[in-house]
Amino acid sequence: MYVAVKGGQKAITEAHKLLEETRRGDLSVPEISLAQIQNQMGLAVDRVQAEGSLYAPKLAALATKQAKGDLVEAIFLLRAARASLKRFGYSEPIETASMRARRRVSGTFKDIPGGQILGPTFDYTHRLLKRSLMDGGQAPPGGAPIPIAKGPGAQPGADGLGGELLGVATILEREGILETVGTAPEDGEPFDLTRQPLEVPLARPGRLQALARADEGFLLALAYSSQRGFGSVHPFVAELKLGPVELGFRAPELGMPITVGEIEVTECQTANQFKGGAGKPPMFTRGYGLTFGHNERKALSMAIVDRALRAGELGEAIKGPAQNPEFVLYHGDNVEASGFVSHIKLPHYVDFQAELSMLRAMRKKFNGSGGPPEPDDKDE
């Protein structure tokens, strides 16, 4: 445990001033605006929203600015902001089938209903640094930015990109070779991590909520480990989609669901090899990843880890950390993890003194009586 130490108030106040100075940096350089961060660092903002577990682009941009680009710190700020707000209620479940997808690809079939739409992706870039993006460089011609998220929309279905695009997963399901996991509807509201403590075993809805807000790097490493054989998952991407979906809410005073806006989400559905077991025939099993904003690596990793965590119910031996719910669910939240790891920076003076005395006593015994005297060798 750490000790509350007095006398540092002045130093702390000065530290805050210095922090603000370094945050702002060189005064001859223009101050960065929230609009710039939102527009030109959108993927950072999206990560902060996904792991901050709060869809609020402007606040996420503010958090990113205040945290000087440290996204885990920004996530912490957003979580704190979220904790101060009143909850109106639960939304209607979003319908990703009606997403106005601006990117939609499948790794399982070449020809899919609506086609493979690459959208704005880094996938095929050559990963060469672009001098044209440097100050004074010639920026390549681009179109007007594609309106995202808050962008309004007409009635769905008109253009083949919105409305009901037949899902690849649905095609596989109709053939009977992709499993169906659980069924809607259920009674009451699903498990809510923000209202009940996390305890394992945890059913899939709770696991998905935990994974959706988990650290991208952690999930990426787990997914990778799983693919490399630590409890293997052999995933195929049935469908990866990015785009806005309408958010419906049933306000009690209205007695009916209404649209309150659009949120952008990234969704990944995987089909995974399964040779049969636990009374189930050989089939493709499912993994599901869903995040706020544009977070493909996270959605993919989440889908792989989701499938790995289903090892128990599918009768698979648990061979790797990605399959271990206690390992994955308890260590995935980077605010929690960062808090506990970072707390050791705080004063542990009394603890350490206790350790020191114990160590000296042990060393005295080890050296035997008559050994060289230890410095400050007296009982505390």
Partner 1 sequence: MPTKPIPANQNAGPIPGPGLTDYVGASQRVFRLALSAMARPAHRLDFDFDGLFGPSPPLPPSVAALALTLADHLTPVWLSPSFAAAEPFLAFHASAPIARVPGKAAIVLAASPKELPELLSLNQGDPRYPDRSTTVILGGALEATSMGITFLATGPGLAEETIFSDHGLGMDFARQWELNRASYPLGVDVFLAGDGCLAGLPRSLALIPKPS
Partner 2 sequence: MERQRIMRALALSRENTLIELMGSLGDIPPFEYLRRPQKGLIMVKARADAKNQAFNLGEALATRCSVNLNGKAGHAYVLGDEPEKCLAAALADALAQDERFRPEIERIALCLEADMARARALEVQKTQKTKVDFFTLVRGEDAD
Residues engaged in binding partner 1 (CB under 8 A) = 86-90, 92, 95, 195, 246, 248, 252-257, 259
User: Cα separation of 14 and 324, whole Å?
Assistant: 45
- Nearest to partner 1 of 86, 275 (CB atom): 86
| Binding partner at 282 among partner 2, partner 1, none, C-beta below 5 to 8 Å by kind | none
Interacting residues of 265 by C-beta distance below 8 A, sequence separation 6+: 94, 96, 99, 242, 243, 244, 245, 290, 291, 292, 293
**Strands, DSSP E only, in 193-273?**
235-251, 256-272
Q: Least distance to partner 2 from the beta carbon of 207, Å?
A: 8
- Nearest to partner 1 of 6, 87 (CB atom): 87
- Nearest to partner 2 of 44, 178 (CB atom): 178
- Nearest to partner 1 of 10, 195 (CB atom): 195
Q: Least distance to partner 1 from the beta carbon of 84, Å?
A: 9
Helix, strand or coil, per DSSP, at residue 291 = strand
Alpha carbon of 15 to those of 22, 355, 366: distances in Å? 10, 30, 44
User: Cα separation of 321 and 327, whole Å?
Assistant: 6
| Binding partner at 58 among partner 1, partner 2, none, C-beta below 5 to 8 Å by kind | partner 2
| Binding partner at 252 among partner 2, partner 1, none, C-beta below 5 to 8 Å by kind | partner 1
Asked if 37 and 64 count as a contact pair (C-beta separation under 8 A), the reply is yes
| Binding partner at 255 among partner 1, partner 2, none, C-beta below 5 to 8 Å by kind | partner 1
Tell me which residue of 297, 53, 85 sits closest to 192, measured CA to CA: 53
- Nearest to partner 1 of 2, 90 (CB atom): 90
- Nearest to partner 2 of 161, 322 (CB atom): 161
Alpha carbon of 212 to those of 138, 193, 205, 299: distances in Å? 39, 11, 11, 8
| Binding partner at 314 among partner 2, partner 1, none, C-beta below 5 to 8 Å by kind | none
| Binding partner at 27 among partner 2, partner 1, none, C-beta below 5 to 8 Å by kind | none
Q: Least distance to partner 2 from the beta carbon of 315, Å?
A: 20
Interacting residues of 207 by C-beta distance below 8 A, sequence separation 6+: 306, 309, 325, 329
Q: Least distance to partner 1 from the beta carbon of 243, Å?
A: 16
Cα 172 from chain centroid (whole Å) = 28
Structure tokens at 257: 């669901």
End-to-end Cα separation, the chain, in angstroms: 19
Structure tokens at 282: 């050989």
Q: Least distance to partner 1 from the beta carbon of 282, Å?
A: 38
- Nearest to partner 1 of 92, 336 (CB atom): 92
Partners of 262 in beta bridges: 246
| Binding partner at 216 among partner 1, partner 2, none, C-beta below 5 to 8 Å by kind | none
| Binding partner at 337 among partner 1, partner 2, none, C-beta below 5 to 8 Å by kind | none
Q: Least distance to partner 1 from the beta carbon of 185, Å?
A: 13
| Binding partner at 142 among partner 1, partner 2, none, C-beta below 5 to 8 Å by kind | none
- Nearest to partner 1 of 123, 253 (CB atom): 253
User: Cα separation of 350 and 4, whole Å?
Assistant: 11
Q: Least distance to partner 2 from the beta carbon of 294, Å?
A: 14
Tell me which residue of 301, 341, 336 sits closest to 217, measured CA to CA: 301
Q: Least distance to partner 2 from the beta carbon of 84, Å?
A: 10
User: Cα separation of 147 and 304, whole Å?
Assistant: 30
Interacting residues of 242 by C-beta distance below 8 A, sequence separation 6+: 101, 102, 103, 104, 119, 264, 265, 266, 267, 294, 296
- Nearest to partner 1 of 128, 256 (CB atom): 256
Q: Least distance to partner 1 from the beta carbon of 99, Å?
A: 13
